[in-house]
Amino acid sequence: MTAEDPLVAVRDLTVRFPVRRGEVEAVRGVSFRIGRGQIVAIVGESGSGKSVTARSLVGLAGEGAHVAATELAFDGIDLRAVRGRGWRAVRGRRVGFVLQDALGSLDPLRRVGAEVAEPLRAHGVVPAREVDAEVVRLLGEAGIPAPEGRARQYPHQLSGGLRQRALIASALAARPDLLIADEPTTALDATVQRQVLGLLRERVGHGTAVLLISHDLGVVAEIADHVYVMKDGLFVEDGPAARVLESPSHPYTRTLVGAALGRAARPRVTPGGSPREVLRAEGLVKEFTLPGRGAFTAVEDVSVTVRAGETLGVVGESGSGKTTLGRLLMGLLDPDAGRVLLDGRPWDGLRGHARRTARRGVQMIYQHPLSSFDPRYTARQILEEPLRAAGTAGRERAVRVARVLEHVGLSPAVLDRHARELSGGQRQRLAIARALAPEPQVIVCDEPVSALDASIQAQVLDVLADVQERLGVAYVFISHDLGVIRGLSHRVVVMKDGRVVESGETRRVLDHPAHPYTRALLDAVPRFAVRGRLRSRA
């Protein structure tokens, strides 16, 4: 691991993409090195060029990409000279790649085992008859319990954390010298995040080098040796992780550090609501039955109340029943027991037209707004649809669309664009605007910012707070992110295994947790343990 013999050496890397008129330079001359067994991180927000930089190392920068560099070497191979089939010897075998988006990165039609086996077969790593056993071994190594059964399952039958681990197992299958992990922990809750980072660290113990791509400095601080901070296609700062995080010199790095410490994402808690209850759930129970496997109780005896103009935070890890509760409140699912009252009137008593009318009072915002938009609709059509459904006349619709657009801080220029042409932040604003259009009393927000960059997160949370202040709408805010919950909620309920284990004023619950699970949740939040690290290294 000497400086003279790095595993990866990159000098003056530029990547350009042709666009309708001219070109876009996504990477504008970056240089970096990765030593054997080292963890190097590239940090930056989405659009900074960090993913493209990483993908250039395996020749997958993207369609039509022009990659140029004065040096682009992997273990002595000049990657600039590699063409077509030549890449196949590098990809998978020498460099494992874990792509962002664990949900979509496994082929949904193939068994998890077949996906993990693919690099083994492609590179003939083990004899064909040993592939199955090797797959099970790899899955187990990646920390997946009962790997034999998992290998026979399909990706949709696995939770996000398990899918992410299966992806890592697949990337590590051919025992590559370098593992590139692009946002391997985004959208995972704190506990799973920790396990995934542990897995990466363990591989490094076996001599694998890791290139970690992330927007989350908290994650990087946990494991990286060296950090490059990327902004607009350039590295603005780099150095040993501890130094960069402890004393960032570039203003942009300082912003990122601030975001990781929870400074940037400091939404306001609005003055709060009136004592009037707008939504009330009493003794909700929801069971799901599996064919031949009996019942699973997703929500068990949950009662909550939401008052006008206030935010009720719902916290818990994945699988705690948060989302099911949200759907019950929305009337998208019918409870097996208990009832939901909107403005004092129960949902389940309503059918047909009355139910649809009442539904306007409760709207929803999702984690992935893009999949909740019709891809053929423009922003205008997306916003007009709920108004049309409510029978609002044409001229009135235009006025209302303009109004909700202003509430969420979007320019009218976006109206004729399709959702996929908008940025992540703009999409979530559009989702908020759509939820506001029917003038609801309550909006159920299911992880609305967990897929967004820190600074965008702060903006969206700001919009939510603004809207609440101006319109007095109440939120049920579902999240695994305690920082976000703390910043926005007046009251909070903590869920575990379908039950509410603790509830009360946000400050009381989070500062003086009474239940051991709440304490465990608070402990699992990745800390910015920079000082601790420095001490341990000294």
Partner 1 sequence: MAGVLRMREAAAPGRSGTARGALVRLVLVRLAASFAVLWGAVTATFVLLQVMPGSTADVLLARSSVTPAIRARLVAEYGLDDPLPVQYLTYLGRIARGEFGESYVLRRPVWDEIAAQLPDTLLLVATTLLVTVVVSVLAGLLSVNRRAWVRSLFAAAESLVVALPPFWLGLLLLTVFSFTLHWFPAIGSSSPAGLVLPTVALAAGPAAVVAGVLREGLLRAMEEPFVVTARARGIGEAALRLRHVLRHALLPVTTLLGWIAGSLIGGAVIIEIVFSRQGIGRLALSAVANKDMPVVVAVVLVTAVAFVLLTITVDILTWVIDPRTRDAGR
* Residue 139 vs 442, nearer CB to partner 1: 139
Cα–Cα nearest to 513, from 531, 492, 534, 527: 492
Backbone φ and ψ for 403, nearest 5 degrees, come out as: -70, -50
Q: Which of 6, 49, 119, 262 binds partner 1 (CB under 8 A)?
A: 119
* Residue 180 vs 460, nearer CB to partner 1: 180
Minimum CB separation from partner 1 for residue 420, in Å? 11
Pairwise CA distance, residues 388 & 264, whole Å: 38
Minimum CB separation from partner 1 for residue 370, in Å? 13
Q: Which of 28, 134, 137, 153 binds partner 1 (CB under 8 A)?
A: 153
Q: Does 2 bind partner 1 (CB under 8 A)?
A: no
Give the pairing of strands 362-365 and 442-446.
parallel
* Contact region with partner 1 (CB under 8 A), list: 146-154, 203-211, 306-314, 344-352: 146-154
Reading the block at residue 348, the tokens are 């389940």
Residues 227-286 that bind partner 1 (CB under 8 A): 286
With a CB cutoff of 8 Å and minimum separation 6, the contacts of 40 are 32, 33, 34, 209, 210, 211, 212, 224, 225, 226, 227, 228
Q: Does 171 bind partner 1 (CB under 8 A)?
A: yes
Backbone φ and ψ for 300, nearest 5 degrees, come out as: -130, 110
Q: Does 202 bind partner 1 (CB under 8 A)?
A: no
Q: Which of 45, 118, 183, 481 binds partner 1 (CB under 8 A)?
A: 118
Give the pairing of strands 95-98 and 178-182.
parallel
Q: Which of 14, 53, 56, 105 binds partner 1 (CB under 8 A)?
A: 105
Q: Does 374 bind partner 1 (CB under 8 A)?
A: no
Residue 229 pairs with which residues in a beta bridge? Answer: 43, 237
Q: Which of 16, 50, 123, 307 binds partner 1 (CB under 8 A)?
A: 123
Amino acid at 399: V
Reading the block at residue 536, the tokens are 């341990």
Find where tokens 């909107």 sit. Answer: 342
Please report which residue ranges of 390-500 form alpha helices under DSSP H: 394-407, 424-436, 454-471, 482-488
Q: Does 496 bind partner 1 (CB under 8 A)?
A: no
For residue 140, count other CB atoms closer than 10 A to its CB. Answer: 16
Q: Which of 71, 101, 277, 301 binds partner 1 (CB under 8 A)?
A: 101
* Residue 86 vs 251, nearer CB to partner 1: 86
* Residue 101 vs 225, nearer CB to partner 1: 101
Please report which residue ranges of 173-225 form alpha helices under DSSP H: 190-205, 217-223
Pairwise CA distance, residues 79 & 60, whole Å: 12
Q: Does 152 bind partner 1 (CB under 8 A)?
A: yes
With a CB cutoff of 8 Å and minimum separation 6, the contacts of 450 are 187, 367, 479, 480, 481, 484
Q: Which of 80, 156, 388, 470 binds partner 1 (CB under 8 A)?
A: 156
Q: Which of 27, 99, 168, 192 binds partner 1 (CB under 8 A)?
A: 99
Alpha-carbon distances, residue 92 vs 66, 162, 169, 510 (angstroms): 22, 20, 11, 44
Q: Does 203 bind partner 1 (CB under 8 A)?
A: no
Binding mask 298-337 for partner 1 (x = CB under 8 A): xx------------------xxxxxxx--x----------
For residue 491, count other CB atoms closer than 10 A to its CB. Answer: 20
Q: Does 56 bind partner 1 (CB under 8 A)?
A: no
Cα–Cα nearest to 315, from 523, 512, 483: 483
* Residue 117 vs 401, nearer CB to partner 1: 117
Pairwise CA distance, residues 528 & 408, whole Å: 32
Q: Does 17 bind partner 1 (CB under 8 A)?
A: no
Q: Which run of H or E residues covers position 241? A: helix 241-246
* Contact region with partner 1 (CB under 8 A), list: 101-109, 203-211, 352-360, 525-533: 101-109
Q: Does 93 bind partner 1 (CB under 8 A)?
A: yes
Minimum CB separation from partner 1 for residue 98, in Å? 8
* Contact region with partner 1 (CB under 8 A), list: 150-158, 197-205, 211-219, 254-262: 150-158
Q: Which of 1, 24, 89, 514 binds partner 1 (CB under 8 A)?
A: 89
Q: Does 97 bind partner 1 (CB under 8 A)?
A: yes
Number of residues that bind partner 1 (CB under 8 A): 64
Three-class SS state of 428: helix
Minimum CB separation from partner 1 for residue 116, in Å? 10
Q: Which of 162, 408, 454, 465 binds partner 1 (CB under 8 A)?
A: 162
Pairwise CA distance, residues 29 & 155, whole Å: 38
Given CA atoms 415, 420, 425, 427 in this order, what sign does their dihedral have? positive
Residues lying near partner 1 in the complex (CB under 8 A) are found at 58, 60, 85, 87-93, 95-97, 99-101, 104-111, 118-119, 122-123, 146, 148-150, 152-154, 156-160, 162, 167, 170-171, 174, 286, 288-293, 296, 298-299, 318-324, 327, 498
